[in-house]
């Protein structure tokens, strides 16, 4: 694993494990002294964000599936079970054997089928991967580059959310706010034309004292970038 | 560098699903019936994922996919360690199989582009990112990949992960850090390759 760090930075490890708070003065001092460390922390947070979103999607889908009554393929389970059961108890070996084709012919047919499948797969890969790469390139062109994300740290209120980003003109922004403790979403903005959001005062009043938030950049219906999660408290 | 994808040996945990799976694999009487009662989750999970993707697959395709996914799960069943419910473990197979099927679907481009009718673009985006993360975790291998999955996809705490892996919570944290940092470097590399 060549790109694994040889020396683990204890500060980042503690932050990632939740043993240390990002707003701790020692952390902020190190980040101020070592901008590359702060940048790496933001990148790590982005990875964690992807994993948290994936975990949430999984939980939602499983919850939905557990209440599902019917689904395509359920009616095939019994025949599948019987097939596996008979295979696992070697019943197939004791059955009268069906008419056998000469082994050479079977071998030739299998080889031809494998060759045909390989060619079809290769062709499909060529077609799809070009489009796929293009789409991914589009999705990643902008990347991060967020600056001056506010609110951050301890504040009197969460009145105004603002940020700077090199997003291309015409992009839209979407702010997502979570409870910092439970990581449950508590609010999200509509699509914003400007890098600024002032949530409704009544809504803000219902928010917990500690939040974390993230801004996503959308261009032509594609999420092209998102910021790390930013923690704030009041 | 690719590493073995052989799962880390986890400490045995008394769990109903683990007993059911082991019973079926040992050929216990009624074992297969119990297992299949639990595996009914597979077509349901696939249907739920497919719904998130605007029902991109028709019912007949979904039924075929359920059968193929079940066959894959059956071939990997001895890897089930009981770290969570069987449906939670089966989810990864369902998700990746469905994504692979969609990759060759005429609507894949729209899904990636976030313009597939009836699909929340945020869900599509998360799904694509998750697929990429899973591919990178497969490259990484155990124990780091196991820890990352247990933490985020099984919702386990570090002490719980430590108990399963038979390591201290601090060691679990170290594996976690390495896993996340590996993903960071690999995803950054993918990003820079995409931009070049």
Digit-coded pLDDT (tens) for B123-145: 888 888 888 999 999 999 889 99
The closest CB to that of A1, out of B3, B27, B122, belongs to B3
- The CA distance from B12 to the nearest CA of chain A, in Å, is 24
CA distance linking residue B51 with residue A141, whole number of Å: 29
B91·A61 Cβ contact <8 A: yes
Is residue A46 predicted with pLDDT exceeding 70?
yes
- Give the nearest chain A residue to B187 (CA atoms): A47
Q: How many CA atoms lie within 13 A of B89 on its CB side?
A: 22
**Residue contacts between A and B (CB atoms, under 8 Å):** 197
Of the candidates B107, B86, B109, B105, the residue with the CA atom closest to the CA atom of residue B97: B105
A62·B91 Cβ contact <8 A: yes
ipTM for the whole complex: 0.85
Q: Report residue B186 CA to chain centroid gap.
A: 19
Q: Is the model more confident about B2 or about B186?
A: B186
Q: By percentage, how much of chain B surpasses pLDDT 70?
A: 87
CATH number of the domain at A147-233, please? 2.60.40
Question: Are β-strands A185-188 and A161-164 bridged in parallel, bridged antiparallel, or unpaired?
Answer: unpaired
- Give the nearest chain A residue to B88 (CA atoms): A62
Listed in sequence order, the residues at least 6 apart from B116 whose beta carbon sits closer than 8 Å to its beta carbon are B53, B54, B56, B107, B110, B124
What are B61's two structure tokens?
Answer: 């395709």
pLDDT, chain A, mean:
77
Q: Are A73 and B49 in contact (CB under 8 A)?
A: no
Overall average pLDDT of the A97-122 stretch: 67
CA distance linking residue B51 with residue B46, whole number of Å: 8
List alpha helices for B40-107, DSSP H.
41-52, 59-76, 86-103
pTM (2 d.p.): 0.63
Is residue A225 predicted with pLDDT exceeding 80?
no
Q: By percentage, how much of chain A surpasses pLDDT 70?
A: 76
- What pLDDT digit, counting tens, does each position of A74-83 carry? 888 888 888 7
B47·A132 Cβ contact <8 A: no
A223·B122 Cβ contact <8 A: yes
The single-letter DSSP state of residue A24 is: S
Interface test with B, best of A17, A73, A127, A139 (most B CBs within 10 A): A73
The closest CB to that of B195, out of A47, A54, A141, belongs to A141
The single-letter DSSP state of residue B4 is: -
Other residues' Cβ atoms within 10 Å of the Cβ of residue A186: 16
The closest CB to that of B180, out of A47, A71, A139, belongs to A47
Model pLDDT, residue B148 = 95
CA distance linking residue B92 with residue A19, whole number of Å: 29
> What single string gives the DSSP state of each residue in A143-193?
----EEEES-EE-S----EEEE--PPTT-EEEEEEEETTT--EEEE---BS
CA distance linking residue A61 with residue B44, whole number of Å: 10
Interface test with A, best of B146, B182, B185 (most A CBs within 10 A): B185
CA distance linking residue B45 with residue A62, whole number of Å: 6
- What pLDDT digit, counting tens, does each position of B141-175 carry? 889 999 999 999 888 999 999 998 899 999 999 99
B43·A72 Cβ contact <8 A: yes
What kind and span of H or E run contains A41? Answer: helix A35-66
The closest CB to that of A2, out of B1, B60, B180, belongs to B1
pLDDT band for B193, please (50, 70, 90 cuts): low
CA distance linking residue B104 with residue B107, whole number of Å: 8
Could you give phi then psi for residue B82, rounded to 5 degrees? 75, 25
Q: Does A141 touch chain B (CB under 8 A)?
A: yes
Of the candidates B185, B182, B186, B123, the residue with the CA atom closest to the CA atom of residue B147: B182
CA distance linking residue B107 with residue B119, whole number of Å: 12
Could you give phi then psi for residue B174, rounded to 5 degrees? -65, -45
> Domains of chain B by range and CATH?
13-134 (no CATH), 141-196 (1.10.10)
- The CA distance from A4 to the nearest CA of chain B, in Å, is 6
- Give the nearest chain A residue to B155 (CA atoms): A55
Q: How many CA atoms lie within 13 A of A85 on its CB side?
A: 17
Is residue A164 predicted with pLDDT exceeding 80?
yes
Dihedral angle over CA of A222, A228, A229, A231, nearest 10:
-140
């Amino acid at each position: 694993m060549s790109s694994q760090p040889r020396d683990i930075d204890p500060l980042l490890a503690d932050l990632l494990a939740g043993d240390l708070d990002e707003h701790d003065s020692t952390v902020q001092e190190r980040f101020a002294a070592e901008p590359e460390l702060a940048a790496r922390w933001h990148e790590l947070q982005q990875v964690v964000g992807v994993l948290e979103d994936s975990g949430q999607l999984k939980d939602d889908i499983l919850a939905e599936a557990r209440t599902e009554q019917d689904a395509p393929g359920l009616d095939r389970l019994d025949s599948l079970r019987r097939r596996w059961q008979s295979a696992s108890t070697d019943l197939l070996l004791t059955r009268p054997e069906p008419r056998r084709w000469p082994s050479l012919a079977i071998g030739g047919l299998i080889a031809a089928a494998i060759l045909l499948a390989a060619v079809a797969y290769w062709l499909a890969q060529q077609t799809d991967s070009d489009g796929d790469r293009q789409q991914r390139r589009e999705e990643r062109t902008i990347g991060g580059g967020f600056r001056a994300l506010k609110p951050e740290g301890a504040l009197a209120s969460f009145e105004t959310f603002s940020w700077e980003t090199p997003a291309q003109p015409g992009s839209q922004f979407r702010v997502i706010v979570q409870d910092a403790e439970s990581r449950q979403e508590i609010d999200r903005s509509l699509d914003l034309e400007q890098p600024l959001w002032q949530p409704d005062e009544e809504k803000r009043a219902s928010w917990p004292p500690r939040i974390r938030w993230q801004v996503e950049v959308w261009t032509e219906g594609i999420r092209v970038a998102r910021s790390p999660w930013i923690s704030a408290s009041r | 560098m690719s590493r073995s994808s052989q799962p880390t040996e986890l400490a045995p945990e008394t769990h109903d699903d683990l007993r059911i799976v082991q019973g079926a694999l040992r050929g216990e009487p009624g074992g297969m019936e119990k297992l299949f009662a639990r595996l009914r989750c597979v077509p349901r999970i696939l249907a739920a994922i497919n719904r998130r993707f605007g029902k991109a697959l028709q019912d007949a395709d979904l039924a075929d996919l359920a059968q193929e996914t079940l066959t894959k799960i059956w071939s990997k069943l001895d890897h089930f360690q009981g770290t969570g419910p069987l449906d939670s473990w089966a989810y990864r197979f369902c998700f990746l199989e469905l994504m692979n099927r969609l990759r060759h679907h005429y609507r894949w481009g729209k899904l990636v582009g976030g313009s597939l009718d009836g699909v929340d673009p945020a869900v599509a985006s998360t799904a694509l990112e998750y697929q990429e993360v899973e591919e990178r975790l497969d490259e990484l291998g155990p124990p780091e990949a196991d820890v990352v999955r247990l933490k985020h996809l099984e919702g386990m705490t570090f002490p719980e992960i430590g108990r399963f892996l038979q390591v201290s919570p601090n060691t679990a944290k170290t594996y976690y850090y390495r896993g996340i940092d590996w993903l960071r470097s690999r995803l950054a590399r993918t990003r820079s390759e995409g931009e070049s």
